[in-house]
Amino acid sequence: MRATARVYWRLLAAGFRRQSAYRLAALGGLVANLTFGLLKVAILFATVRAAGGELHGYDTASMSTYVWLSQGLLGSVNLNGRTDLALRVKDGQVAVDFLRPVDLQAATLATEAGMSLFALIPRGLPSVLLGALVVGMRLPSNPVFYLLGTVSLLLGIVISAATVYLVAVAGFWLVETRGLQILYMLASGFLGGLYVPLALFPGWLRAVAAATPFPSIMMDPIDVLSGLGGEAHAAGLVLAQLAWLAGVAAAGQALTRAGRRRLEVQGG
């Protein structure tokens, strides 16, 4: 058991180190995050002001919190659907993964989580800090939200990796998963709360979003971290995330098992 934990821990560390190899790319990502963050500030602040200073529970200060937390998370959660694994399935490199005495899904998630955690350093934290500095934001004073928020953030990272994993292993059947990846990109950003807080959606669209794992990737961690809705609400969101994680992880296991029977290693 301890030895198994060491295996995945080492893979997580490897992901972390891998991501650290590309510092310039991280800097570019940060600049993009900040630019789009300012754009979102301009549009959403105007909307809040047009609504008379308050919109579905958001004022400009809490809207700023939403904007910078979402921009900060963007480097660490996968809302574009692209993965190494999908490429590895497509070119047959996944054969090498199957030669290792590890579970494909667990190994992939550990590596992706490691990469995501590293991205918090050059992209996540600076986005939030610079946003707070330049625009200002409201953060909760109760430490419970930081504790629950950290858990929620980590869950969001793993749920996102486990959900894109489903897109990647669909390649066992489809080979080319780009169509599915684009669908994921459109749906996850929109329904995950990247563009506007889900509270701004009409009721039916909120219901649609709630039927997908996407809010638990971005919107829920933001809500928990910003302390909107109180402690009980935050705890409820974390529990819901756990349920989503269990669901997508189980689906990933089932798809991997079924896909292994279908696998035809591409490229000889």
Partner 1 sequence: MNSAVGSGAIIETDGLTREFRVRDGRRKRLLTAVDGLTVRVEPGEAVGYIGANGAGKSTTIKMLTGILVPTAGRVLTCGLRPVPDRRRLARQVGVVFGQRSQLWWDLPVRESLRILAAIHMLSRAEENDRTAELVEQLELGEFLSVPVRQLSLGQRMRAEIAAALLHSPRLVILDEPTIGLDVLSKQRLREFLIGERRRHGTTLLLTTHDMGDVERLCDRILVIDHGRLAYDGDLPGLSRTVGAQRVLVVDLAEPVPDLTGLDGATHLSSQAGGLRQRLAFDAEKTTAAKVLAAVSGQAEVLDLTVEEPDIEDVVRRIYAASR
CB half-sphere exposure, 130, CA atoms < 13 A: 15
CB of 74 to partner 1, least distance (A): 22
What ranges make up the beta strands (E) of 28-117? none
Q: How far is the CB of 159 from partner 1 (least distance, A)?
A: 25
What are the tokens at 44? Answer: 């959403």
In the chain, the amino acid numbered 118 is F
Helix (H, G, I), strand (E, B), or coil: what is residue 193?
A: coil
Distance of closest approach, residue 7 Cβ to partner 1, in angstroms: 5
* Least distance CB 197 / partner 1 (angstroms): 36
- What gap in Å lies between CA 26 and CA 253, rounded to an integer? 31
Contacts of 40-45 with CB under 8 Å at 24 or more apart are 40/67, 40/70, 40/71, 40/195, 41/67, 41/131, 41/135, 44/196
Q: Which is nearer to partner 1, 116 or 127 (CB)?
A: 116
Least distance in angstroms from the C-beta of 252 to partner 1: 17
Looking at beta carbons only, is 102 or 134 nearer to partner 1?
Answer: 102
Nearer to partner 1 (CB atom), residue 32 or residue 87: 87
18/138 with CB nearer partner 1:
18
User: End-to-end distance of the chain based on CA atoms, in angstroms?
Assistant: 36
Would you tell me which residues interact with partner 1 (CB under 8 A)? Answer: 3, 6-7, 9-11, 14, 17-18, 21-22, 92-93, 95-96, 98-103, 260-261, 263-265, 267-268
Nearer to partner 1, 82 or 206 (CB): 82
For residues 252 and 187, give the distance between their C-alpha atoms in angstroms, rounded to a whole number. 19
What is the residue whose two structure tokens read 């990933």? 252
